[in-house]
Amino acid sequence: MTLRTPPSWLQNGSHPAENDRLTTQALYATTGIIGSGSMLVTANSPAGMSVIVEPGWAAIVGTTQADMGTYVAYNDANNVLTITTADPSNPRIDRIVVTVEDSYYSGSADDVIFQVLAGTPASTPSAPATPANSISLATIAVGTAVTQINSGDITDTRVEVTTNLPVGDITSVTAGTGLSGGGSSGAVTLNLANTAVSAGSYTTANITVDAQGRITSASSGTAASDPTPTVFLLMGA
């Protein structure tokens, strides 16, 4: 089939959910989190053999087969995930993922879940591969015989989705000469930097101006005084 029919949301038609997900994929082209703070993995408090997945959105492109479209998942609260007991002899690396399960394509479950994929203990361990229909959120370095996971053991592996919606091509704002501020995300502010000149009023000012037209130095001067006038007496003949 080269053209899906009927299209999603046709008034008197019916269509599979896959059509809706293909519509979603027109918006979210790749697998990833939606918003830079979504589903961040952090250490639990107090520290122990668990981590927290914070709230947020994710878009997951189905990979069990072609043309599954993009699933959108939302986590509405902190989720605590248990890390299994550390190996007494070797370290390992675990992977935290969020996975969509869809029985239409494989298995028997219809759900979205967080998983802790335990790595194999080894002198030089590697993390398990990310499974189908999943996003990797973080890897966890589980040291030999450790009893708690700390922030330094967590490596963030999240990536943000890319979109097919038209967006501008400005990726950052850099503060140029005479400016401060700028940035590459969120609300960006540029400020006019202060010069060495103190704010105030100057009388008969001596000033210095730079190439950008800013006054970089100023001082009050002294008004010139008229010399003592010379009086000429004109005498008539």
- pLDDT value of residue 156: 98
Ramachandran area for residue 86 (φ above 0: left; ψ -120 to 50: alpha; else beta): beta
Do the beta carbons of residue 136 and residue 106 sit within 8 Å?
A: no
- pLDDT value of residue 231: 61
Q: Which comes out higher in pLDDT, residue 14 or 230?
A: 14
Question: Nearest to residue 217, comparing CAs of 207, 203, 232?
Answer: 207
Question: Nearest to residue 178, comparing CAs of 144, 201, 155, 212?
Answer: 212
pLDDT score of 43 more than 70 = yes
Tell me what the mean pLDDT of segment 188-201 comes to.
Answer: 81
| pTM score, whole prediction | 0.69
Residue range 21-31, pLDDT digits in tens = 988 888 888 99
Residue range 98-148, pLDDT digits in tens = 999 999 999 999 999 999 999 999 999 999 999 999 999 999 999 999 999
Question: Nearest to residue 3, comparing CAs of 15, 106, 65?
Answer: 15
- pLDDT value of residue 60: 95
Report CA Rg, the chain.
Answer: 33
Instruction: Lowest mean pLDDT of 49-53, 159-163, 216-220, name the range.
Output: 216-220
pLDDT score of 171 more than 90 = no
Instruction: Lowest mean pLDDT of 66-70, 151-155, 183-187, 225-229, name the range.
Output: 225-229
| Share above pLDDT 70 across residues of the chain, in percent, rounded to a whole number | 91
Q: Which comes out higher in pLDDT, residue 186 or 115?
A: 115
pLDDT score of 149 more than 80 = yes
